[in-house]
Structure 1
Amino acid sequence: MMLWKLISLCPCAAAEDIEWEEPDPSDVEEDFSNDDDDVCPNIEFTKEEIKSFRAPWWGSLLLKVLGRRVGYMYLRKRLESLWRPERRHVAVSFGSDYFLVKFEHLEDRRFARTEGPRMVLGHYLTVHPSVPDFDPQEVQIDRTAVWLHIPKFPMEYYNEVCLRRIANRLEKIAKIDFNTKADEKGKFARLCVEVNLNRWLRAKFRIRGKPFLVEYEGIHSVCFGCGR
């Protein structure tokens, strides 16, 4: 059994900076299932047929709300509010709380995959490039993008060099909240980082010997064992 590892790719300032591991439309794997019997017949298709089956869904995105079950109709309305797409998009429920979204407009897709991370009912909405032969029962979510806060942070450290260095020591930096970067928020620094769901998060760090606490927004609702 193949276990897919989906990585929720972190949003950043420019879409071209993101490496999307999307399947090559021209690459169709060989069918090694040669066993055929009356109990479980093997249905065969040519490579050209497989390409034609997959073609309408190339470029779709897989979505999952971590830590909470969300109904199909509610999520559709919530996505309309979050993304405000220019054209129609198709959403399909996959089971195991996964949803597949197909876009008619490339700019709508770019916005959905790069602007965020977004939250639904206080839980993170993960966004992944679609994969062929996707089976929600054979999926493992390894990483996701989250917001972290540094409360009571000294104002002299509110600069991009300092904030990036701190975030990269804690996790992998994705971006700095625009208002934080522009020194327009004085209460806390807000950073977007990519966290590993298979390990403990760092809860504090030190500068010149002084400890500072780190708060992860919405992370209380994520089970680090299964990503739910």
Structure 2
Amino acid sequence: MEIDPTGVCNLFEDSVQISHDDITFALNPGEVDEPQEANQVLLGKIISRHRFGKAAIQGSLKLSWNAIKGWKWKELEDGIIQFTFARREDALNVLARRPWFVCGALIVIMPWPAWLSPTEVRFDKTPIWVHIDRIPPFYWNLSNLKELASKASPVYELPTGIEDAVGMSSLRFRATIDLNKPIFLGFYLRRQRLNDLWIQYKYEKLPKLCFKCGLLTHEQSTCSNHPP
């Protein structure tokens, strides 16, 4: 049975006059060669209102990670999955190639910082590749490319030297999407003496999307949110 720590503290205070400080202690960190986030253990959580069986999870990830040998996983509390890899390079490769999917549902995979418990790790953001097409060459400069990328997310990675590319009208970049916010689909570019131009944002391997509220965490049929 899981007990709310706040309730426990209040119980002690009410019954035996023990304060929060009286039942708070410190532990010495273990001596490790490197931080946990650079090790072979990652945490994941499937973003879906449906529960997947172990066979479905194993089968889906085995297809995705067929080149990775010796990895294993186990379910923890609150729907969190712990992944253990035989080699540190494999864990880093999985992080670098995000996002991943299980039976069409997004699985958010994160490093596990050694100072956090599994339930303290947040699974509300994921990197995803974004495409923007039809960018007129007149607007192709570093300042505008940063502005375009920032509309998808304040956290993004542009290809090195992309501003110096000649004859380009399509931008592909990596953005970290906040799953609690609607995805950015595009905008009209205002131009002098020309019609406004629709600049559309396309997301690679986009999981199920709610067209009512714009979130990636559920489908429209199960949406209980109000449109933004």
Sort the TM-score into its range (normalised by shorter chain).
0.5 to 0.7
User: Which of these residues, 114, 123, 134, is aligned with residue 154 of structure 1?
Assistant: 134
How does 1:209-228 map onto structure 2 within 5 Å?
209-216=196-203, 217-218=206-207, 220=209, 221-222=216-217
Question: Does residue 63 of the first structure (1) align with residue 44 of the second (2)?
Answer: yes
User: Which of these residues, 148, 153, 157, is aligned with residue 174 of structure 1?
Assistant: 157
- Matched-pair contact (CA < 8 Å) for 2:47–2:107: yes
- Matched-pair contact (CA < 8 Å) for 1:63–1:125: yes
Report deviation, 1:106: 1.9
User: Which of these residues, 77, 87, 92, is aligned with residue 110 of structure 1?
Assistant: 92
Counterparts of 1:72 and 1:163, CA distance in 2: 43
**In the TM superposition, what whole-angstrom CA distance separates every residue of 1:155-176 from its partner, at most 9, and x where no partner exists?**
755x895655422233232366
Q: Secondary structure at the match of 2:124?
A: strand
Counterparts of 2:187 and 2:135, CA distance in 1: 17
Aligned length: 174
Higher relative contact order (CA 8 A, sep 6+): 1
What root-mean-square deviation, in Å, do the aligned CA atoms of Structure 1 and Structure 2 show? 4.2
Residues 160/127 of structure 1: CA separation in 2 closer, same or farther (3 Å cut): farther
Partner of 2:178 in structure 1? 196
The answer to which structure has the higher strand fraction is 1
Counterparts of 2:112 and 2:172, CA distance in 1: 30
Larger Rg: 2
Partner of 1:51 in structure 2? 30
Q: Secondary structure at the match of 2:156?
A: strand
Give the letter for the 2:95 counterpart. Answer: R
Report deviation, 1:63: 1.0
Counterparts of 1:33 and 1:72, CA distance in 2: 42
Q: Secondary structure at the match of 1:51?
A: coil
TM-score (norm 2): 0.56
Residues 195/118 of structure 1: CA separation in 2 closer, same or farther (3 Å cut): same
Structure 2: give runs of 5+ residues left out of the alignment: 6-19, 160-164, 210-215
**In the TM superposition, what whole-angstrom CA distance separates every residue of 1:42-89 from its partner, at most 9, and x where no partner exists?**
9x9974xx738x99x942100112125332332233223222344312
Which deviates more from structure 2 when the two are superposed, residues 126-135 or residues 216-225?
216-225
**In the TM superposition, what whole-angstrom CA distance separates every residue of 1:188-216 from its partner, at most 9, and x where no partner exists?**
86543112233343332233342223344
- Matched-pair contact (CA < 8 Å) for 2:108–2:123: no
Q: Secondary structure at the match of 1:96?
A: helix
User: Which of these residues, 77, 95, 99, is aligned with residue 59 of structure 2?
Assistant: 77
Question: Does residue 123 of the first structure (1) align with residue 136 of the second (2)?
Answer: no
Partner of 2:12 in structure 1? none
Which deviates more from structure 2 when the two are superposed, residues 123-132 or residues 99-108?
123-132
Question: Does residue 206 of the first structure (1) align with residue 188 of the second (2)?
Answer: yes
Q: Secondary structure at the match of 1:81?
A: helix
Report deviation, 1:143: 1.9
Partner of 2:162 in structure 1? none
Partner of 1:89 in structure 2? 71
